[in-house]
Amino acid sequence: MTLSEAAPAKLNLALHVRARGDDGYHSLESIFAFVDFSDRLQFQSAATLTLGIAGPFAAAIAVTEDDRDAPQPNLVLRAVAALAAASGNPACGALTLWKAIPVAAGLGGGSADAAAALRLLARHWRLDWSLDRLAELAATLGADVPACVYGTLQLGQGRGEQLSPLHRTGLGGTPVLLVNPGVALPTGPVFGGWDGIDRGALDPNAPLACLRNDLEASAIAIAPVIAAVLTVVSAQPGVTLVRMSGSGATVFALFESESARRAAAQAIGRDNPDWWLAETALR
C-alpha cells in the first residue's frame, strides 16, 4: 500500500522582526498561511529507510542526512528519525519526495516536507498523536516546521514556533500568484542584514495591507532583483496585496479573482521568462 501526503508551501502574510536575543536568534511575529501548491511525499513499506527525490527542484536537496554539499539539507530523513525515536518504531520505509517548491525561497519547502513526513509516518504507524504533539516534536527540526504540521492560518511568535490559530474571514480560496526570480536566498544572511529597528508589534486583526515584512529591505540588498519583482507584480490589475514571503526571494500576490491572477501570470511570464511562477490559492 502506498500512502501519500501533501506538503503545502508556506507564506508569511506578515513578518515583524522585534528583537535579537543574546543567543543570536531573532524574536519574530508572523502570520503563517498555506497555499494549495505543494511538494508531495509518498511512502511504501520496506525493510530499510530510503528516500528518492524527483521533480523540478530535486537536485537542490541532499539525498542523505549527512550530505553537506547540497543547497538544502534533508529534513525528511531527520523527521523520520525523530518520530521513530519518539514513538519506538523502526526508521524504515521507501520514501519518494516530489520537489516542486523552490529551495531557499521563503516558502518553507524543507519545513513543509519534514511536517509531511511526520504526518505520513504517524498515519502509517497508526500513532494516536494529536497535531499538537507532532508540533512539539517538529520544533526540534526547525522554527517553521510546527506551523507546517498544522498547515492552517497561525500566528507565530518567538522564533516562529509559538503558535496560536487565527480566524480571518474571506481569506480561504483567495487566488495567489507566486513569483520567484530564480535566486536562492539563504535565511542567515537576510536576518544578518536586518537593520535592528523595531517597527512595532503585529496586530493579527489589522488589515493585511497595514502589516509588513521587515526582512524585505535586507533581502533586496542581497538580491536587488526582488525589488523589480515587487514593482512588476504590484502593477498587475486586480492585485490586492503584494509582499515578499519569509526571507525571500519569492514574492506573493493576492488577487480579487482567478481571471486577474491568470492574466497577471501570463503577462509576467511573457515579459520575464526566466522567473518561476505558480498559480495557486490560499487554503
Query: Residues 195-249: pLDDT tens digits?
Result: 999 999 999 999 999 999 999 999 999 999 999 999 999 999 999 999 999 999 9
State yes or no: is 66 an active-site residue. no
Percent of the chain with pLDDT over 70: 95
Per-10-residue mean pLDDT, the chain, length 283: 95 93 81 98 96 93 59 81 97 96 95 98 97 97 96 94 93 98 93 93 96 98 98 98 97 98 98 98 97
Catalytic residue among 10, 39, 99, 214: 10
Quote the pLDDT of residue 22: 72
Name residues whose C-beta falls within 8 Å of residue 109's C-beta, 6 or more positions apart in sequence. 7, 9, 39, 57, 72, 99, 101, 102, 103
Quote the pLDDT of residue 66: 55
State yes or no: is 144 an active-site residue. yes
In the chain the domains, ranked by start, together with CATH numbers, are 2-165 (3.30.230.10), 175-281 (3.30.70.890)
Q: By C-alpha distance, which of 111, 113, 107 is closest to 95?
A: 113
Catalytic residue among 39, 99, 113, 144: 144
Q: What is the pTM of this model?
A: 0.94
